[in-house]
Structure formats: structure tokens, C-alpha cells
Structure 1
Amino acid sequence: MNRIFMILVSIGVPLSVIGSLMQWPSVMLFIIYCVTIIALASYMGRATESLAIVTGPRIGGLLNATFGNAVELIISIFALKAGLIGVVLASLTGSVLGNLLLVAGLSFFVGGLKYKRQKYNVYDARHNSGLLVFGVIVAFVIPEVFATTMNESKTLSLSVGISVILITLYLAALFFKLVTHRGVYQSTHQDEEQHEEEPEWGKKKAITILFLATLAVAYVSENLVHTFEVVAESFGWTELFIGVIIVAIVGNAAEHASAIIMAYKNKMDVAVEIAIGSTLQVAMFVAPLLVLISLFFPTAMPLVFTMPELIAMVTAVLLVVVIANDGESNWFEGATLLAAYLIMGIGFYLL
């Protein structure tokens, strides 16, 4: 599999450069860009997996989520610059749904096929559940409710205020988990396994590959954004569907691969940290950061989603909180999450 991704990167990156310079058809370029980003994401996944073995599951999961979300953040900034606010909000929705239902669902399902019952840190699960309810339900629903009685200027001011609070609380949550309460709520069985495994790459090599892959993704992502409108017309897709499904899956390819591999290796602490930790990072850091960045562009982005997006995210959070709060998983719980993702995917396709 690693060899296939190496071939795809070797061919995809030069083709992306040549295709954009020679202005090949947009649909062809869209496919090349998507495949190239997914192949580059596999390198980001392998690099963060190596770092996770060195640094432990919490920091490893956080690194994976951060660099995985870096892809989407880059795509979203270029989309904001192009004035595609609908695509950006839809891709944020897609990230939340993709991480909670698709990534967590596939992790539980694939891991559950190999192991009857998998355990992960129940304290982290409960801590993350509270943050999920706050980050998605409270912070995303409030602007929607108040926006109905406000003009655009006040709605944007509300969004900026909420964004600053979200980023502050997210940083406080990291400080809580990694500094003041590090090791207080420890998971013993998987930490022991973590030190036994040898990383594929050393720390310096892993960081270098991560940096170069992120740079390449930034270049390809900028070009990908310019193909959206033509592709939407060609396939009859809406901006909402492109954002929620296509951009979210391509942008989160690194996390998708890493979480599933970790679950298959019975490292559920890392798998859950990637899936849920990445969702928290999108809701509490990436989304508010994009609101603040949008202030420097001609069209600012308020933190106001459409009703289908909002209801889908709230439903996904409540389902994951109920399923993941016990610190155990199996293949049927994974199948339940995947079924919810498919139902929502059909809905967004038909909208």
C-alpha cells in the first residue's frame, strides 16, 4: 500500500503542476488533485504515526488531528479568498460529520471485526463528550438562533465574539490535558504497548516529511478550489454536497487512514483521539479561526450554518456521545455510526 501511495505522489505532484500551467480540463484536474492530496495525506499519516509512538497516544493523536486538519484549513482559506463561503461552511460540517460518523465508525467497525471488544480511556471519552456538546451544539446553535433577529453586521460581531471564546477554551482544554492533568486520568494497557513498538521513521525524518507534504498539499489545494464551480456544473452537484462530502473526505484523508490503522492494531486510545480530537479541533479552533481570517477578505464569514447542516451536526454529536461514552467499542457500534453517515450523505446529495 505504501508503494502505491509513493507512486501516486511521484506522478500526482508533477501532473498537478503541469496540468495547472497548461490549463487541462477542470474535471480531469479535480480528479488528479483529489488523488494527489489523498496520497500526500498518507505520508502525513505515517509521519504522525511515527511521532505518536515517540510522544504517546494523546500528543500523537493531537499531532495527527492538527496536520490532518491543516489540509482542510488550507483548502478553506483559498475557498474563502475565492468568496466560496457556502463551500467553507459545508466543508466544516462535513469534517464534523466525517470525523464523528465516518472515521469513528470505520475505526470501531474495522477494529471490531478483529477484536470482539475494544477499550479506550473512558475519562478522555467523557471529557471529550462535554467539549463536543459545547463546541458543536452550544457554539454553533446560538449564532443560528440569534441571527434570525439580527442584521448582518451584528451577526458577524456575534460570530467573532464566539470565535474568540471557542479558541480560548480549546487552548485551555489542551493545557488541561497535556499539562495540569497529564497522567491523572491514565490508560495503562495501551501506554505499555505504545513503548514496545518501533517507529517507522525517526523524529527528524517524520517532521521533515510532514512539513514537505503539508507544503505540497497547500499548492495542490489552491488549484483544487478553482475547479469546484465547473465540477459542480458538470456532475450536477451543489456547493453544499461538494463541501460536506467531497472536500471533507479529501481534506481529512490523513486522519481517516491513520485512525483505521490504529484501530486495527487495537490502539483505540489513539484512534478515538484522532476521530473525536479532530472534530473538537475543527469546531473549536479551525472554524473560529476561519471566521477571524475571513475578516481580511472582501467577504467575511459569519458562523451561521444552514438548518440541514446544523441538525446533522447536532444529531452526530448526540449519537457519538451516547455510543462512545462507556470507553468500549465493537463492530456493531461502528456500523451504526456508518449508517447515520450514509443517511446524511444521501440527504445532502438530494438537497
Structure 2
Amino acid sequence: MMNRIFLIMLIIGVPLSVIGGLLHFPTILMFIIYCLTIVALASFMGRATESLTLVVGPRVGGLLNATFGNAVELIISIFSLKAGLIGVVLASLTGSVIGNLLLVGGLSFFIGGLKFKVQKFNVFDARHNSGLLMFAIIVAFVIPEMFSQNLTETKTMTLSVGIAIILILLYIAALLFKLVTHRGVYTKDADENVVTEEPEWSKGKAILILALATLVVAYISEKLVHTFETVGEQMGWTELFIGVIIVAIVGNAAEHASAVLMAFKNKMDVAVEIAVGSTLQVAMFVAPLLVLISLFFSQSMPLVFTVPEIIAMVTAVLLNIVISNDGESNWFEGATLVAAYLIMGIGFYLL
């Protein structure tokens, strides 16, 4: 049923996105059309990565889901950088971190917990991810904010570039550790690649759909970015709220749908890998990559967040670690994470 709805949204949304842009439909209307079309495209990306997950296993499948899901946000962010919307980009990165850890993780725990009293996932992966989250958010994001108080803009940018390179190198090392050198050491994944259910699409078809969806998302994302300023003025939304809530939810729609679906099917290893793995990819790869890409535009982006953004991300990390470090989840823990997200959302709206 939902797949049919998303297909109808896609069939209507893509032509409307093109026609509306050419005929200059009202900006608010186009903003809604662009967002709904990207969500529909994200659902197809989620289904494609789910098919791949059944073939390549939960770890690689979760990584693929996070990567293609974050590709949407990366594309939106690059066009935002080009337009000089540095605040929107930094806010969207904040939104991704708190959205994945609290909203996606929380909904996964909550929806899965309504069906299963207790759901278990790999405790060693949870602890490994906890250490990386502490490093990526609390060390790599807080330090630039603290040091920038006593540095010039040029030195702050130099510090940001240095941190960005270190983050990317450590992220690559983390992938090597998890998928190559220590694959199977901390988990009984000998049967990880055994397909227990038939994938919806073949490997080739899934990859083709992912590639096509990403291209269409790139086109619509560029159009979406140009509506931000007008929509913000008409709706009374700040640049911070648009980035933290709107761009983050639209940009991460693929992971949102996939993680909740996996939790409902009691595939918690995949659900947690999507939620936390996506957060790590945003913090350790997407954010530093955007810092480096910004050097090629007229306005470069230092890795310096506002104090509310820093506090929100640190709080999300600490709460997620406390709740998920035991390798078990239930609906109440999910409700707690979602409640924290809603409180932060109200705060960012009122700022």
C-alpha cells in the first residue's frame, strides 16, 4: 500500500517539479512538491538498499543504506554551500546527527518495541560505535568551537581543514576495522551473507534504481535550495530551523523509512547500523568533506557550530550511548529518544 502511494507521488512529483520550475509556480507550493518528491525517491532508495542488504549482509547493507541516504543530504548541502547558505549547511548537519540518533533510532526502538517486548542487537558494535560517536561529536566538533574564540578566521579555517582530514582518515580506518581486519571477530556472522528471505529486486536492478534516484534527487535538491530563503520569510522560519529540522528530515528520509522497517521486522542490527552508522558517516565523512569542498567556493565553511547546536548534538550522543550500550531496546527507550528530539525541535523553532 505505502509503496503504491510513494510510486504515485513519484509519478506526479517529478513532472510537477520540472514544470513548476519552468512556469514559476508559487514558491511555497514548489517547496512542498520538492520535499514530497524527495521523500518518495528516498523510499525507493530504501527499498533498493533493503534488497542489497539481503544479499551482502546487515553491516554492509546498513552502510550502503546510510551512504545513499546521506548522498541526498550531501547533494543538498553542496548546492547550499554554492548559494552561500553556510548556516543552513551547519544546521542540517546538526539536524542529521540529532535526527538519526534520536528520531530515527527512537522510532526504530519504539515501533519495533510495540511488536517485540525486547529487541537485541550486537553489543560489541554498539560499544564500538559509542567510542566513535564520542570522538566525532564531542572531540572533533566541540574543539573547533572552543579554539575559534581565540583564533582569527584564517586560523579557524586552517584548524577546521586539519580536523576534517583527520576525521576522514579515521572514518576510512573504522570501515577497514569493521569490514576487513576485524570482520567476524566480535560477532557470530558466519551466516551473515545467507539470504533468509527473497530480495524484492535483483542486485543489478537495486543498484540501477539507487543510481537513477540519486541523479533525480540531485536535480530536485538544487531547486529546493533556492526556495529556502522565500519559504523562511513567509513561514517565519529561521535559517537554523530550516537546516536542523526541514533539510535534515527530507535529506535523511531514506534512512528514516528503512531503519523503522528493519526494526519492525526485528532486524535490529541493520536498524541500529543505519541510525548510528549514518550519524558517524555524517560526522566523520560528510561534514569534513563539505569543509574541504567549501574551499572551492567564494565562502568557505569552518567546522564551527553554534552553542545550541553543539549542546543538542552532545546531548543526543550521550543519551543514545546510555540507552543503546547494553545491546537491548524496548518501546519505552524509543519513546524517550523521540521525546528528546521533540524538545530540541521546539527549542530550535523558537530560537
TM-score range, shorter chain: over 0.9
- Name the CA distance, whole Å, in 2 between partners of 1:18 and 1:212: 20
User: Structure 2 CA distance, aligned partners of 1:187 and 1:160?
Assistant: 39
Partner of residue 95, structure 2: 94
* Aligned mates of 1:17, 1:188 — CA distance in 2: 46
* TM-aligned CA distance change 1:250 to 1:154, over 3 Å: same
Question: Residue 172 of structure 1 aligns with which residue?
Answer: 173
- d(CA) in 2 for partners of 1:287, 1:187: 33
For residues 250-299 of structure 1, give each alpha carbon's deviation from its aligned partner in whole angstroms, at most 9, with x where no partner exists. Answer: 00000000000000000000000000000000000000000000000000
The answer as to whether partners of 1:167 and 1:285 remain within 8 angstroms in 2 is yes
Match in the other structure for 1:76: 77
Q: Distance in 2 between matches of 1:298 and 1:22?
A: 30
SS at match of 2:110: helix
Describe the SS at the equivalent of 1:196.
Answer: coil
Contact 1:38–1:254 at 8 Å: present in 2 too? Answer: yes
What letter matches 2:319 in structure 1?
A: L
Q: Give the partner amino acid of 1:276.
A: V
1:294 paired residue number? 294
RMSD in angstroms over aligned alpha carbons?
1.0
Counterpart CA distance in 1 for 2:113 and 2:271 is: 13
CA contact (8 A) 1:190 1:269 kept: no
Match of residue 113 from structure 1? 114
| Structure 1 unpaired stretches of 5+ | none
Shift of 1:188: 5.3
Distance 1:186 1:205 in 2: 30
Give TM-score, length-normalised by structure 1: 0.99
Give the superposition deviation at 1:189.
Answer: 10
Within 2, Cα distance between the matches of 1:129 and 1:138? 13
Q: Within 5 Å, which residues of 2 pair with 1:227-242?
A: 227-242=227-242
Q: Take 1:272 and 1:197, find their aligned partners in 2: how far apart are those partners?
A: 20
Tell me if the contact between 1:190 and 1:267 (Cα under 8 Å) persists in the aligned partners: no
Deviations 1:225-269, CA, capped at 9 Å, x for gaps: 000000000100000000000000000000000000000000000
Long gaps (5+) in structure 2: none
Question: Normalization by structure 2: what TM-score?
Answer: 0.99
Flag the 1:307–1:258 CA change in 2: closer, same or farther, 3 A: same
Q: Is the 8 A contact 1:294 1:300 kept in 2?
A: yes
- For 2:186 and 2:65, the matched residues in 1 are separated by 21
- Paired letter, 2:153: E
Give, in angstroms, the shift of residue 195 of structure 1: 2.1
Q: CA deviation at 1:144?
A: 0.3
Instruction: Look up the equivalent residue of 1:83 and give its one-letter code.
Output: G
Paired residues in the alignment total 350
Match of 2:349 in 1: 349
Distance across 2 between alignment mates of 1:126 and 1:236: 41
1:145 is aligned with what amino acid? M
Q: What is residue 140 of structure 2 aligned with on the other side?
A: 139
Matched, 1:46 2:47: yes
Q: Distance in 2 between matches of 1:67 and 1:187?
A: 27
- Report percent identity of matched pairs: 78
